[in-house]
Amino acid sequence: MEWKTPILALLAAFPLASARLPPPALHVCSPGPFIVFFESDVPFLGEAARKTLETATTVAGDCGDARIVLAGHIDTNEKAGLDKRRIEVVRDYLAARGIPRSYIRSEALGSRKMRVTTGPNVSEAQNRRVEIIFTPPD
């Protein structure tokens, strides 16, 4: 059994590689807001909106059981109710990617909280949006 001694000495001289690995990186939940912009008078997702939603979906994975608040907006030139339709499009997108609908709350704000203040009947791209915010579980 003398052959074990050199092996034990060798193992002691070279600790396992896994013992020297840094701890795994912690994922941090970024609360947002992630802002999905829309073209005028439509509730459809463009390419930039899809990229924003993909980012938000990835972040949702880092947020565990966080809840999601969707705030829908329109500009002053759009018809009432379009903010609700935009929220539904975003909710459907998130749900299709595994986020439970029960985790998602929404609020249609119309043109009450503009990013860019305008007068009536003004088409403003920054005001046509759905904001996605992650909040702690209830």
**Cβ atoms 73, 83 nearer than 8 A:** yes
- pLDDT tens, 83-110? 999 999 999 999 999 999 999 999 999 9
Confidence check: pLDDT of 14 > 80: no
Decide which of 24 and 45 is more confident.
45
Q: Tell me if 117 sits within 8 A of 92, measured CB to CB.
A: no
Mean pLDDT, residues 30-41: 95
Question: What fold is seen in the domain 29-135?
Answer: 60s Ribosomal Protein L30; Chain: A; (3.30.1330)
DSSP, res 99: -
Convert the pLDDT of each residue in 109-121 to its tens digit: 999 999 999 999 9
- What is the mean pLDDT of the segment spanning 65-92? 97
Output the pTM of the full model. 0.79
Looking only at the bridges linking them, the beta strands covering 67-72 and 129-135 are antiparallel
Domain boundaries defined on the chain: 29-135
Q: Are 74 and 82 in contact (CB under 8 A)?
A: yes
